[in-house]
Chain A
Amino acid sequence: MFKYITQRILLMILTLFIILVMTYFLVQSVPGGPFADPTIKPAVRAVLNRRYHLDQPIWMQFLQYLKGLSHLDFGVSIKVQPQADVFKMIAARFPVTIQLNLLSNLVILPVGFILGILAALKKNSIVDHSIQIMVVVFISVPSFVLAALLQYIFAYKLGWFPITFSTARHMNLEKLLSMVLPVLALSFGGIAYIARYLRDELSEVLNSDFMLLARAKGLTMRQAVVRHALRNALFPLVGMILGIFITVLSGSIVVENVFAIPGTGRLSLAAISSNDYPLVMANVLLYTAIGLFARLILDLAYGLIDPRVTVGGGKNAE
């Protein structure tokens, strides 16, 4: 087990490094550069380029960047917030994104659960059909369309919620209200995925032999469902939760833009569109690291929850 984890972490670092190299050269090869604005005088541009070492050959810059990285120095922002420490910039915005993400998960999980279980228990009834329709609609309407429609109807027309995200430092009613619409926009897709998955899985489990046995030995339907069916249907859900976390994270890049939320998603967009090299790199590394880490936790979690899964098994297990 320990050997497996070390192996995985080493592999993860290797993957991260390969992506780092690829992204670095891709970012640098984007035409323009941070100071391509024609209104900047050539002399000024030369000074600026020298200050950020942009006049050196690209592999020199890369080595310097790696050297900085080795003691967790991600460099300074060039364009978005000149001279600001990239690490601090991300540290200031990341909590906002995570906060929204966790809130969305708090909405997604219980609602998705209830809908999925309801649909499975009342399979082929009117309840099931209406939940099925809702699921297809939620999966089909893109999150940014939903975000815009929610913003138009509930914020602009009805005035129930603020149009943009409140930037108040501490949690208050106004801030909470301003979070409702973004959280909803981020949640619909996840709700649909969980509900659809749980319905399919649970209705299969309900027809299995051990459910028949449970009923035969005298458990009521409720007891049998809660003690036997749910436990079996729930375990693959652990994987979905992490998947949803990642999906919401990338979905928030767009939703943050619609509601003017100061999170990392909006920051990455600003960084990319202004060729702010260090900031782009740091953002890509952040998202990649989260993705890789989530996958590791997921694999380990499977081994812990389900004894049938052996962690670190044969390479060509099929």
Chain B
Amino acid sequence: MPNNNLDDYLKAANLSREDFAFVEAGQIQADRIPDTPPIGFFRDAMRRFGRNKASVLSLAVVVLIAFFAIVGPFMDSFTYRQQNVKWDKLPPRVPYLEKLGIFNGTAVLTVQKANIETDYKIGYIKTIREHNIKANGLDVPMADIVVDMYKLKGADDVYFWLGSDGLGRDLWTRLWRGARISLAMAFLAVFLNALIGVIYGAISAYYGKNTDLFMQRVIEIIGSIPLLPLLILFIIKFGTGIVPIVLALCITGWIGMANLIRSQFYRYKGREYVLAAQTMGVRDRRVIFRHILPNAIGPAITQTAISIPEFIMAESMLAYLGLGIQAPEASVGVLLSEGQQVLFSAPHLLLFPAIIISLLMLCFNLISGGLRDAFDPAQRG
């Protein structure tokens, strides 16, 4: 009976009796290194991360977007700055898909019925609905018609996969190029902020006392400036290139990381190994970065991942307010802001950038959630 029970356990653990061997009575097992490779903190965390399906899927989507951000602009024949003013605001049109009735370059226009035969003759496909509107006391017959915009604007053999913007530039190319710039700026800002935050928080907590008090007051002052007006002023002063925008995002972006590292350092700086290092005369810098920091870094990684979507959002918000990167370059935020201006006549110009930025935000949020669970399993909700 007890044997059966053992077999059940072994089966449940995917083991068999052959995996075990008898040990001599006098043999010491305690100090022997096990044959299986050791699983470190990071390996363990990565294993936990891998089990979170939503996070892994998100990571795949981000990698896909990053891939397109690199090769996307070269996939069709347009460049990001090539203007074709005659072919402005064309709806999306993709070869093969167009035969299925989607992405076929048609649009519904509301026009005067009298003009169908003259102005819209070339691309006219069918009439959906006829109605009258009153103008100057007269009934004007109107019609909602489906028009092949590509034929109408003389672009028969042209394919703008995601449509074209107000200057006839290809949205596909611009969108991926924009995603590239947005991602680059976000990562640069995240890296700089993490660096500043770690150093600031570490110094503040490690030296403590008056240093800490003073550095905390500085954080308090910087943190209580209303962010958006400050960002706007900063960018107006220093211009709208990649560097000024990233620097602007670094004004207050590091505070969260500094606070986190500070509280982590307070937890670890009183430990015996720190005291031991100090007693043996290790320099402060080495104690901070070699002895304490590696122990305190777990939550910091999560914090970094969480701040990526925040910076993407902040950058696009600035761009949306007209403080984005300068034309002809575009970030996703700039494209959104351009799309907003022609929202009612060419909704695709807002829709596709909106999808990309929402996907990026969503995926980074899910990834950071997965990282948090992986690095700090105790906190899992």
Co-complex (A, B): yes
Question: Residue B340 at the A interface, CB < 8 A?
Answer: yes
- For residue B109, CB closer than 8 A to chain A, the reply is no
Q: Which of B77-85, B130-138, B156-164, B313-321 forms contacts with chain A?
A: B313-321
Chain A residues in 8 Å Cβ range of B369: 136
A8-63 contacts to B (CB < 8 Å): 15, 18-19, 22-23, 26-27, 29-31
A204 partner residues in chain B, CB cutoff 8 A: 381
A222-253 near B? 1/0 per residue, CB < 8 Å: 00000000000000000000000000001001
B230, B317, B358: the one contacting A140 at CB < 8 Å is B358
Chain A CB within 8 A of B275 CB: no
B361 and A142 contact, CB distance less than 8 A: yes
Chain A contacts of B209 at CB under 8 A? 316
Of B220, B233, B321, B344, the residue contacting A23 (CB under 8 A) is B233
- Kindly list chain B residues whose C-beta atoms are within 8 Å of the C-beta of A141: 354, 358, 361-362
A185, chain B: closest CB distance, angstroms: 13
Interface residue ranges of A269-318 to B (CB < 8 Å)? 269, 272-273, 280, 283-284, 287-288, 291-292, 295, 315-316, 318
Kindly state the separation between the CA atoms of A272 and B321 in the bound complex, as whole angstroms. Answer: 11
Least Cβ distance of B68 to chain A in Å?
19
Say how far B315's CB is from chain A's closest CB, in angstroms.
11
Number of interface residues of B (CB under 8 A): 43
Chain B stretch 169-217: residues in CB contact (< 8 A) with chain A:
208-209, 212-213
Q: Is the CB of A152 within 8 A of B233?
A: no
Contact with B along A126-145 (1 / 0, CB 8 A): 00000000001101111011
Say how far A239's CB is from chain B's closest CB, in angstroms. Answer: 15
Closest Cβ of chain A to B177, distance in Å, is 20
Known: A140-B358, A148-B343. A283 touches B317 (CB 8 A): no
Q: From residue 340 to 358 of chain B, which have CB atoms closer than 8 A to chain A? A: 340, 343-344, 347, 350, 354, 357-358
Inter-subunit contact B320/A254 (CB<8 Å): yes
Contact with A along B8-41 (1 / 0, CB 8 A): 0000000000000000000000000000000000
Which residues from B are CB-within-8-Å of A272? 229, 232-233, 236
CA A142 – CA B310 in complex, angstroms?
10
Cβ of A187 < 8 Å from any Cβ of B? no
Q: Given the complex, which residues of A lie within 8 Å of B5, measured CB to CB?
A: none
Q: Are A254 and B365 in contact (CB under 8 A)?
A: no
Contact yes or no, B336 A144, CB < 8 A: yes
A250 CB contacts on chain B under 8 angstroms: 226-228
The answer to the question of A149 belonging to the interface, with a C-beta cut-off of 8 Å to chain B, is: yes
Docked complex Cα distance between A258 and B313 (Å) = 17
> In angstroms, how far is the closest chain B Cβ from the Cβ of A254?
6
Which A residues touch B322, using CB under 8 A? Answer: 273
**Is there a chain A Cβ closer than 8 Å to B253's Cβ?**
no
Contact of B344 among A156, A203, A253, A315 (CB under 8 A): A156
Shortest distance in angstroms between A246's beta carbon and chain B's nearest beta carbon?
A: 9
Residue picked from A145, A151, A273, A284, most chain B C-beta under 10 Å: A145
Tell me if B118 is interfacial: C-beta within 8 Å of chain A.
no
Are A31 and B229 touching (Cβ within 8 A)? no
Q: Give the CA-CA distance A22 to B237 in the complex, in Å.
A: 14
* C-alpha gap A144/B334 in the complex (Å): 13
Is the C-beta of B124 less than 8 angstroms from some C-beta in chain A? no
Whether the pair B354, A149 counts as a contact (CB closer than 8 A) is: yes
A144-B336, A318-B263 given. 15 additional CB < 8 A pairs?
A22-B225, A27-B233, A136-B369, A139-B365, A140-B309, A141-B358, A142-B316, A144-B320, A148-B343, A250-B227, A268-B229, A273-B322, A287-B229, A291-B226, A316-B208
B interface residues, Cβ below 8 angstroms from A: 208-209, 212-213, 220-221, 224-230, 232-234, 236-237, 263, 266, 309, 313, 316-317, 320-322, 336, 339-340, 343-344, 347, 350, 354, 357-358, 361-362, 365-366, 369, 381
Q: Write 18 A-B pairs (CB below 8 A) sorted by A numbering.
A: A15-B220, A23-B233, A26-B230, A31-B237, A139-B365, A141-B362, A142-B358, A148-B354, A203-B381, A253-B321, A254-B320, A254-B321, A269-B321, A272-B229, A284-B229, A291-B224, A291-B226, A295-B224
